[in-house]
Amino acid sequence: MGVVWLAEDRVIGRQVALKELRTSSPAERERVLREARTAGRLNSPSVVTVHDVVVEEGTAYIVMELVSAPTLADLMPLPADRVAAIGLAVLDALDTAHAAGIVHRDVKPGNVMVLPNGQVKLADFGIARAMDDPRLTANGGVMGSPGYMAPELFAGQPPAPPSDMWALGATLFEAVEGRSPFERATTAATVHAVLNERPVPTHLAGPLSEVVLGLLVQAPATRFTAQQARAGLQRAASADAETVVFPKADDGRDVRKIALVGGGVAAVLALTAAFVLLPDDDPGERAVASTPSPVSSTSAPASSSPAPSSSAPPSSSTTTTTRSTPPAPPRIVPLARFKGQDNWSYTGSSLLDVPMGYAPDKALGMVLTQQEGGTRPLYSCQVKDSPGRMTSLSATCETQRVYGVVGYVYESQPPADKPSQELFRCKAGDRHFDSNEKHCDGQQLEFSLGWVLVDREQ
């Protein structure tokens, strides 16, 4: 594995990170040095700066900006608006790189560094990934972490900006969900998931969900572009979208009285972060990155103090803030139907943001917020190439776009101590809607979605 040294640039008088690259051949070393020099041309506040590359006694070193901060992998999961803001910063870094003809090829939470002041820096632009992490793969010059590699890379296509967009989508998904969308127990299973599966979010919702799922489209030609991603991330980060306020399940109010309010809701969460000078595991994925520094005239090992990733960080470089624990979510939440333009219908709960343009129409009961025995997830779907919505029991939304999990419904009628009513999916022309009435308000009955709870006082 590679080693990161804490070094001093004696010419300028600053501390830098010195990354030792273990290459297996002169050709490989030359490739790494060439890529490092290319990355050194990038000029963006969202990119970890590469100051210099040097070769000393046959060993290559990259001199980088020293960044003492946790990575996104250390902090996640995070609220959606915070993740959207981080995504915009990463997108800025990728835009700078792509404009310079550079493809990152290894965007992932471990390479996104989040500074104490909120600034974000993207590290490791294609530098020595295979040498730093045994989980990485290299084949025909294509390198990356399998769980974040775009499907076309496994087909032998060269890395390109769309493959970085895919990796950004996987990174943002994991930042909110706290789990990788495609990583499985084996590399083969991971590759199969990347090639064939659609991720199913449980926490992603609203504009951020649309961006992430748009980035994780297998076909690069229809995948979200950087411009599309930026527009959606700006919406998600601004919290300006309309929000529906649902009454609490136990506050005694009629669940049919649902108010639509405009404006944003801001949530502030104090996060615990340990800002360390050097990491305690993989140095290529955590707190240290470096920038080119004019030290080529200095022997690298002689001017640096070894600080391999296994060493404990000095206590003076650690800062801790207090974490505010959010309250536990309610066990059940109201379910309601909303009407949109052109007779489209949307069924949702407070677990998902109501899409813009939809107004409250009818209360449908209550759904569980977590899966229990005898229940199944109810998915909200976006109909492709239209503003339409539909509800489904399929994790793939019947080949439509997954918007999120509305809640959990009972597969069969629960015991009498749990008052309930059946929920049906209906169809009017090519529009789908949900109803508690089996006659579907005079329209076509499709099938039963399951059983929802009802308010005891109704």
- In 3D space, the residue among 389, 338, 345 whose CA is nearest the CA of residue 359 turns out to be 338
Per the annotation, the verdict on 251 as an active-site residue is: no
Options 106, 124, 164, 282, the catalytic residue: 106
Per-residue pLDDT of the chain (458 residues; tens, 9 = 90+): 468 888 988 888 889 988 887 777 777 777 777 777 777 778 888 998 888 888 888 788 888 889 888 999 999 999 999 999 999 999 999 999 888 888 888 899 999 999 988 899 998 875 533 333 444 454 444 456 889 999 999 888 888 999 999 999 999 999 999 999 999 988 888 999 999 988 888 888 888 999 999 999 999 999 999 999 999 999 999 854 444 444 444 433 333 333 333 332 222 222 222 222 233 333 333 333 433 333 333 333 334 444 443 333 333 333 333 344 444 445 888 999 999 877 889 999 888 878 878 888 889 999 998 888 899 999 999 888 777 899 999 988 898 888 888 999 999 999 988 999 999 999 999 999 999 999 998 999 999 999 999 975 54
Whether 218 and 91 map to the same domain: the answer is: yes
Please check whether residues 218 and 147 belong to one and the same domain.
yes
* Maximum CA extent, the chain: 83
Assigned domain for 257 exists = no
Same domain, 284 and 371: no
Q: Is 429 left (phi over 0), alpha (psi -120 to 50) or beta?
A: left
22: domain range? Answer: 1-241+273-326
* DSSP output for 32-81: HHHHHHHHTT---TTBPPEEEEEEETTEEEEEE------BHHHH-S--HH
In a domain, 298, yes or no: yes
- Residues 22, 34: Cα–Cα separation, whole Å: 15
The pLDDT assigned to 125 comes to 72
Which of 310, 326, 342 finishes a domain?
A: 326
Identify the CATH number of the domain in which residue 314 sits: 1.10.510.10
- Regarding whether 127 and 34 lie in a shared domain, the answer is yes
Asked which of 262, 293, 326 is the last residue of a domain, the reply is 326
- The token pair at 83 is 């993740």
77 & 198 share domain: yes
pLDDT at 375: 93
Instruction: Give the Cα separation of 355 and 416 in Å (integer).
Output: 35
Provide the number of structural domains found in the chain: 2
Q: Are residues 278 and 387 in the same domain?
A: no
Query: Is 335 contained in some domain?
Result: yes
312 with 334, same domain? no
Q: Are 88 and 169 in a shared domain?
A: yes
Which residue, 284, 310, 326, sits at the end of a domain? 326
Take residue 425 and report the two structure tokens written for it.
């999916």
Do 45 and 113 belong together in one domain? yes
Q: What is the pTM of this model?
A: 0.53
The answer to whether residue 262 sits within a structural domain is no
* Structure confidence at residue 442 (pLDDT): 92
Q: What is the CA radius of gyration of the chain?
A: 25
CA distance 108 to 116: 20
Q: Does residue 267 form part of some domain?
A: no
Residues 282 and 296 occupy one common structural domain? yes
